[in-house]
Amino acid sequence: MKKTIDFTVNNEQKSVQIRSADTLLITLREQLGLTGAKPGCENGDCGACTVLVDDQPMKSCLMLTAETANRSITTIEGLHDTPIQKAFLEHWGFQCGYCTSGFIMNCHALANIHPDANAYEIENWLQSNICRCTGYEEIKEAIMSVLKTKEAGTSG
């Protein structure tokens, strides 16, 4: 049984036919071709599928598309030359690149919502994502370079 949902994705109005059980991740990838959001665990544990829902980071595997009616979604494909994208490139914040879009979406939201985030807040936010390739050092350099918080904080 399919139903129609209207929402905004990367500032474009979209109308999709969905099953009630479809997650936002599935809809973005399979119906809208927005494959920047990656399935990593489909259980909310790894953050590779992170997108913004009304500017708040959300793991798209944990949200049903039905819940997003009339809301505004931003995916990695909706970001263009943002400071955090440049910072990830400049600081080598990625290797295989699979977790990168999720990290960038989360960092982008953090920089917008808490530009003065302290070390505890940064850690609290970024612990929702897993990177298996890097040692997190480069990701830390990237997020620190876009936040106003300039001291390195307490965590390594």
Among 20, 56, 97, 113, binds other proteins (CB under 8 A): 97
Q: Is beta strand 72-74 parallel, antiparallel or unpaired with respect to 2-9? A: parallel
Which residue number, 5 or 76, has a Cβ lying nearer to other proteins?
76
Rule CB under 8 A: choose which of 5, 57, 94, 147 binds other proteins: 94
Does position 99 bind other proteins by CB under 8 A?
Answer: yes
8 A C-beta contact, residue 47 and residue 106: yes
146: contact with other proteins by CB under 8 A: no
Is residue 104 near other proteins by the rule CB under 8 A?
yes
CA distance readout (Å), 152 to 10, 86, 101, 143: 33, 20, 24, 11
Residues 6+ apart with CB under 8 A from 135: none
**Contact call for residue 96 and other proteins (CB under 8 A):** yes
3-state secondary structure at position 97: coil
Distance separating alpha carbons of residues 82 and 130, to the nearest angstrom: 22
Fill in the per-residue mask, 7 to 26: x = in contact with other proteins (CB under 8 A), - = not in contact: ------------x-x-----
Under the binding rule (CB under 8 A), the answer on residue 2 touching other proteins is: no
- What secondary structure letter does DSSP report for 10? T
- The residue count of the chain comes to 156
Using CA atoms of 123, 92, 40, 121 in order, give the dihedral in degrees to the nearest 10: 10
| Residue number, 72 or 136, with CB nearest to other proteins | 136
- Interface residues for other proteins in 40-59 (CB under 8 A)? 40-43, 45-46, 48
Q: Does residue 92 belong to the site contacting other proteins (CB under 8 A)?
A: yes
What are the residues binding other proteins (CB under 8 A)?
A: 19, 21, 29-30, 34-43, 45-46, 48, 75-77, 79-80, 85, 88-89, 92, 94-101, 104, 119, 122-123, 126-127, 129-140, 155-156
